[in-house]
Amino acid sequence: MTSKRLTVFASGTGSNFIALHQSVQKGIIPAKITAFITDKPGCSARSYAKEHDITDYVLRPLDFDSYDAYVQKLLTVLEQESPDLILLAGYLKKIPDEVIRRYPKRILNIHPSLLPRYGGKGWYGHKVHHAVIENGDQESGCTIHFVTEVYDDGPIIAQRKVPVFPDDHPDTLAKRVLKEEHTLYTEVVKRLLEQD
């Protein structure tokens, strides 16, 4: 039984969360996902966490008297969970600066483009794939980076490229990129944990 602990944040379907969890279950990632945090109580990623007995937390700034109270609760939860790595898997809220400072080079994000292209606030999901196609890019892909206080601006850990075909639309490109996201995230998390 490994002592490495992972906390995953997600806001939507959680396909990267699911892929990571399946890699944990298969013994590919030498760790356990001990907590799931979301800002969307009805998201399907949370349903998956519940089905697999992963402790889940719904933490939204609007549920607290102040932003500071929200940040303190988030810090308290993370202190309880004591993660070796915090993994963002389609989490659309900005991680508070206080959390980033508390966990330097321990928070990872996956982004559906070859950063620095199509990165920053508001760039996520199909918006990225649409822009790639509109601009006639020949390739796209995904990036895993450390989270810093600026959106999508942290040091890049790894990238994986995919071709963009002339008949692509955002759905077909998204599917191709997502397949690489699932593989790359597992590889990077495994490598980082084994380096510790």
Mind telling me the catalytic residues? 111
Q: Cα separation of 35 and 9, whole Å?
A: 9
DSSP, res 136: T
Residue the block writes with tokens 């945090």: 37
Radius of gyration in angstroms for the set of CA atoms belonging to the chain, rounded to a whole number: 16
CB of 49 closer than 8 Å to CB of 20 = no
Q: Cα separation of 142 and 161, whole Å?
A: 7
**Residue 53 φ then ψ, to 5°:** 55, 40
Q: Cα separation of 139 and 159, whole Å?
A: 12
CB of 16 closer than 8 Å to CB of 110 = yes
